């Protein structure tokens, strides 16, 4: 029975192996990566002489009482409160209470627009108020994809967030109401623009006043640290955590992680580069590559922490490479190379990319800085491609996976817990059973059949009866792993090692007991020639360890200097 006919074998042994794979490799856990809930934010007003509410606090309190029965009147009150607070800030920019009142009022303007289903985006909206009607409108953006009518906006102060990957909230104090913008519809052109299928983005809402006109602007807190307000440059407020938390909770990538291992062909369209923020030619792209049975969500703790650093925000932009991790990693690397061809064509990258690869993602990253030429091909087939009988489709797939040069746009690589020389998981009984559960794509099966008909494998490597899958390509005796480790990293491209150590001690070579993160031993993730090597107290999820995140921050600050 071949892989095309194999049904999912729910045998006790297979289930046990899968449970070990799920629990042992990526520390699978029952709690969600992100969970969100909405609530009505509390307001703590400052009182005037005699305990009376005056100015913006009075307007806010009255508007909050009107919200349910008369949202349009409440909206007028919130606009009035924001205008009163903005005048106070004009006379005293350091008035913290006025800034808090302003931010709270602007947040309620946005919330009321959403909850009452009002539309100041397609045409100005007249809003009644005690001092005369306000005209509520917005500052147009020349970029059609940033038309506010395409989004639903929610102020972040209405969210409670928690979850495995959302344990700390990264914010920046300043003017404006941090807001989550969620696209109303999926974007059919997202893949061509290297954007997420649906936009979840953090903006900061600023309300500026021109007489009785209230003009809303949605500004990008990742693109700028400050904003212009009342003739002054002031710090712009931001929340960098909630937009990611909302995206994770809405999409729940955890539910697809195991499926993308077992049935990678079904999720072929998910193999692509995704920009977490719009491309900025003045910022270096950091490309994160996840590992086996994982997703881009795994980088949330690192990104959340790094975005809290003003220097990192100013110099870097964060992207992902996501892929079905049931693919053999040389094939996943070939897809990434094609994606990078498209990225280069579309954006003409101005700065060298920094790649951060965890686990199998590190193995993929290794191939980006390797000049294999035809060495791997010749090592298997002993003759050039033109002399090997094979279908055109199979030959293209195999040549794309075996014949490649380093990527010129990659300027630095950080390997985290990467089984560069293999892992016992790929060759022991757990690995063998786990491997048998992966259903290879038809194209790979066909290519594998062509290879088996053509090649006689010599002894000394992994026995092959079919094309390897992702688990197979992590085995220390896998023929690709053995061959690629005979090819040095391309000179001139710096790389760094971060590895986990469970604290059980052990040897750094292959003598047992071995130093290990529980999945990958030191001897496998170590590479001679690394510019730095940092061992952190961690299991296999070292990329989420605070010391490892701090090391990535250090390397990023070093990069380009």
Smallest Cα–Cα separation from 521: which of 464, 474, 559, 482?
Answer: 474
Q: What is the per-residue pLDDT across 95-120, written as a single tens digit (0 to 9) for each?
A: 999 999 999 999 999 999 999 999 99
pLDDT of residue 175: 98
User: In Å, how far are 67, 108, 205, 235, 283 from 153, measured between CA atoms?
Assistant: 17, 11, 10, 22, 27
Give the residue among 512, 513, 504, 495 at the shortest CA–CA distance from 539.
504
Average pLDDT over residues 76-88: 97
Q: Phi/psi at 435 (nearest 5 deg)? A: -60, -35
Q: Is the pLDDT of residue 48 over 50?
A: yes
Region 278-303: mean pLDDT is: 96
What token pair was written down for 390?
Answer: 């094979």
Indicate the pLDDT class of residue 474, thresholds 50, 70 and 90.
confident
CB-based contacts of 29: which residues, under 8 Å, 6+ apart?
164
Per-residue confidence band for 20, with pLDDT thresholds at 50, 70 and 90: very low
Count the residues in the chain.
Answer: 561
Comparison of pLDDT for 444 and 553, the residue scoring more = 553
pLDDT computed for residue 166 by the predictor = 95
At 431 the pLDDT is: 45
Say what the pLDDT of residue 464 is: 54
pLDDT beyond 60 at 347: yes
Given this model, what pLDDT does residue 478 score?
82
More confident residue, 21 or 551: 551
User: Which pLDDT band holds residue 144 (cuts at 50, 70, 90)?
Assistant: confident
Residue 18 has pLDDT above 60, yes or no: no
In the predicted model, what is the mean pLDDT of residues 465-492?
83
**424 pLDDT band (50/70/90 cuts)?**
confident
pLDDT at 458: 61
CA distance readout (Å), 67 to 54, 187, 442 = 19, 33, 58
Question: pLDDT class for 435, splitting at 50, 70, 90?
Answer: low
Closest to 79 measured CA to CA, from 40, 124, 123: 124
Looking at every residue in the chain, the average pLDDT score rounds to 89
87-99 pLDDT tens trace: 999 999 999 999 9
Residue 462: its pLDDT value, please?
52
The confidence score (pLDDT) of residue 353 equals 98
In this predicted structure, the answer to whether residue 16 has a pLDDT above a threshold of 70 is no
- Here the tokens at position 459 are 């002894």
pLDDT at 1 over 50: no
Three-class secondary structure of residue 8 per DSSP: coil
142 alpha carbon, distance to own chain's centre: 27
Residue 463 has pLDDT above 60, yes or no: no
Letter string b/e over residues 265-277, b meaning 16 or more CB atoms within 10 A of that residue's CB: eebbebbbbbbbb
| pLDDT (mean) for 404-433 | 81
Tell me if 457 sits within 8 A of 560, measured CB to CB. no
Q: What is the maximum alpha-carbon separation in the chain?
A: 94
Q: How many other CB atoms are there within 10 angstroms of residue 168's CB atom?
A: 10
- Residue 12 pLDDT > 50, yes or no? no
């Amino acid at each position: 029975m071949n892989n095309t006919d194999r049904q999912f074998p729910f045998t006790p042994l297979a289930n046990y192996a899968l449970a070990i794979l799920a629990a042992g490799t990526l520390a699978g856990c029952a709690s969600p990566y992100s969970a969100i809930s909405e609530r009505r934010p509390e307001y703590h007003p400052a009182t005037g002489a005699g305990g009376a509410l005056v100015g913006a606090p009075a307007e806010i309190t009255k508007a909050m009482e009107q919200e349910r029965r008369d949202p349009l009147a409440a909206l007028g009150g919130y606009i009035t409160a924001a205008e009163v607070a903005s005048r106070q800030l004009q006379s005293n920019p350091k008035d913290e209470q006025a800034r808090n009142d302003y931010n709270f009022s602007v947040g309620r303007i946005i919330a009321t627009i959403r909850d009452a289903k009002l539309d100041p985006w397609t045409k100005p909206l007249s809003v009644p108020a005690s001092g005369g009607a306000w005209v509520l409108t917005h500052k147009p953006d020349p970029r059609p994809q940033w038309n506010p009518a395409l989004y639903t906006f929610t102020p972040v102060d209405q969210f409670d967030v928690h979850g495995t990957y959302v344990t700390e909230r990264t914010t920046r104090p300043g003017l404006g109401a941090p807001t989550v913008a969620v696209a109303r519809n999926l974007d059919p052109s997202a893949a061509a623009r290297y954007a997420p299928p649906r936009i979840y983005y953090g903006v900061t809402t600023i309300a500026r006043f021109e007489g009785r006109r209230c003009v809303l602007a949605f500004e990008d807190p990742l693109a700028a640290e400050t904003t212009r307000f009342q003739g002054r440059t002031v710090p712009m407020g931001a929340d960098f955590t909630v937009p990611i938390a909302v995206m994770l909770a809405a999409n729940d990538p955890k539910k697809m992680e195991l499926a993308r291992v077992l049935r990678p062909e079904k999720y072929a369209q998910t193999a692509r580069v995704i920009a977490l923020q719009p491309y900025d030619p003045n910022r270096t792209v950091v490309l994160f590559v996840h590992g086996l049975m994982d997703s881009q969500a795994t980088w949330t703790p690192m990104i959340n922490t790094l975005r809290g650093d003003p220097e990192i925000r100013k110099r870097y932009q964060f992207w992902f490479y996501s892929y079905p991790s049931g693919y053999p990693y040389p094939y996943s690397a070939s897809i990434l190379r094609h994606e990078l061809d498209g990225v280069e064509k579309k954006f003409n990258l101005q700065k060298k990319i920094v790649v951060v690869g965890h686990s199998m993602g590190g193995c993929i990253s290794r191939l980006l800085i390797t000049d294999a030429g035809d060495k791997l091909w010749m090592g298997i087939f002993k003759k050039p491609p033109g002399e090997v009988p094979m279908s055109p489709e199979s030959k293209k797939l195999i040549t794309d996976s075996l014949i490649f040069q380093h990527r010129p746009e990659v300027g630095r690589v950080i390997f985290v817990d990467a089984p560069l020389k293999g892992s016992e998981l790929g060759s022991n009984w757990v690995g063998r059973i786990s491997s048998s559960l992966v259903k290879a794509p038809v194209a790979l099966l066909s290519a594998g059949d062509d290879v088996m008909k053509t090649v006689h494998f010599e002894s000394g490597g992994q026995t092959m009866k079919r094309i390897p899958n992702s688990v197979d390509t992590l085995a220390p005796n896998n023929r690709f792993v053995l061959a690629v480790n005979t090819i040095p990293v391309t000179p001139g491209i710096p790389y760094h090692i971060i590895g986990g150590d469970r604290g059980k001690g052990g040897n750094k070579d292959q003598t047992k007991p071995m130093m290990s993160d529980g999945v990958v031993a030191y001897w496998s993730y170590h590479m001679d020639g690394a510019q730095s090597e940092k061992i952190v107290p961690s299991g296999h999820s070292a990329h989420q360890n605070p010391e490892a995140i701090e090391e990535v921050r250090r390397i990023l600050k070093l990069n380009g200097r």
